[in-house]
Amino acid sequence: MAVHDTTSGAVLAQIRRRPADRRRILFTGATLVTMDPVLGVIDGGELLVGGDTIAAVGHDLNVDDAVVIDCAGAILSPGFVDTHRHAWQAPLRRIMPDVDDLGGYVMSTLAGHATVYRPQDMYVGTRLAALTAIDGGITTMLDFSHNSRSREHSDAAVRALLDTGIRGVHASMGPHFGTWDRQWPGDLSRLKDTYFSSDDQLLTLRLATLATDEIAGPALAYGPELARIAQDLGIGVSVDAVFGTSSSEAVLGWAKDGILGPDVTLIHSTGLTPEAWTAMGETGTTVALAPTSDAQIGLETAVPAVDEALSVGIRPGLSIDVEVALAGDMFTQMRTLHAIQRMRAVNAAYGTDLQPSRITTHDVLDFATLQGARTNGLAGVTGSLTPGKKADLLVIQAEDLNNMPLNDPIGTVVLGCDARNISAVLINGEPRKWNGQVLDVDLPALRREVRASRDHVLNTPSPGSRS
């Protein structure tokens, strides 16, 4: 059988000609960074995709009727998992790169720009964020969609995820400020019936909420009523703005009420008390860190809470947060967390006989893949190159100019790579990026749509009033 590589347009056409459920793709000669605790790293390995699933990994796989792709000089890794991004804001990227605090972001973006968003702006922003995520190797993205001003706004955000082919998690929340239809959280039932009726699909649904009522009032704050709604619908909960003393008190209250657990994700979790962390660890609650957001915007202590999470047995996921001020790729999140934690560990031990307790590149890649999947409620679906999981994977060119020669594959992925090195992205077995290009995107048309949406948002006066 013919052997191809991921620079070949002909092999892409060959793959796509086959019905999705009958495709068999064999990647050969790669370094497999499986992130599976048992399988580890496999040098010169092979990976077989059957339909939408990883069918086998190893050496000398006995395969008939497969499209064979030579990956010599490449790394195969799981796709990255983003556990929290406000995707609708993408057309406003880096509009406030030097924002100094949470209040500045809230008043400019949530009390200002968000209030004039139309459904089509939700669609354009969410689609742009998802396509960019795919380009950078993020195959799963939790969209914390907290600008759901109407049913139509929510529908537009979900359709955008569907249209890109990303493995999307739509986490729905009502807006902080301005006028809206007050359809949330009641509309979650309609959303589930309309878009999320099957357990075996690319998209999943979560309830999004805030930790306390300090920013937007009690209607958006997590508590027993919202927990009951999520439980009745059988969906997870993502709680944003988990900061400081007030959130610590809230965490202890949730623990007392029995509404913490593995289906609940607490985002940021900076400046929490030891008692709150103990409750989170004892209940198996998951945590989504936002390394650049905490450090760059200066959220509470401004220190990503990785040490606190690990101390109670929580291995966190990683997230992007707000592109109005931050980088939008997972490589930046991994490197930022790696550097900050190791800096703090050495600094704490400086001048003493203590040995610094430092995280590794394997740790941060684990956070960005397997632990991110667990945080999003998808541990059995994605996050590692494990047979039986869905085929969400990256082909990374390890012999490109900025990576050669390949010495340590995990170190290369975490410290050496960027989007240009990702030659192919598969999501659910479907090629979404090939030969270094995101597929099925009319870039000139997208550019026009993004600019038009941005111009509408920036040029439309905002009432700026709190609802």
Distance CA 80, CA 166 (A): 11
Q: In sequence order, which residues have a C-beta less than 8 Å from that of residue 388 and are 6 or more positions away?
A: 53, 54
Burial string for 87-124 (b: 16+ CB within 10 Å, else e) reads bbbbbbbebeeebeebeebbebbbbbbbbbbbbebbbb
For the chain, residues classed under CATH 2.30.40.10 are 3-78+380-438
- CA dihedral in degrees (421, 424, 428, 432; nearest 10)? 110
pLDDT recorded at residue 300: 94
pLDDT recorded at residue 466: 40
For the chain, residues classed under CATH 3.20.20.140 are 80-375
Q: How much is the pTM?
A: 0.96
Residues of the chain with pLDDT below 50 are 1-2, 465-467
pLDDT, tens digit, 9 for 90 and up, residues 220-257: 999 999 999 999 999 999 999 999 999 999 999 999 99
Does the domain made of 3-78+380-438 have the CATH classification 2.30.40.10?
A: yes
The CATH number that domain 80-375 falls under is 3.20.20.140
pLDDT recorded at residue 5: 62
Query: Which token pair is 335?
Result: 């490197």
pLDDT, tens digit, 9 for 90 and up, residues 351-409: 999 999 999 999 999 999 999 999 999 999 999 999 999 999 999 999 999 999 999 99
pLDDT recorded at residue 157: 98
Distance CA 305, CA 293 (A): 12
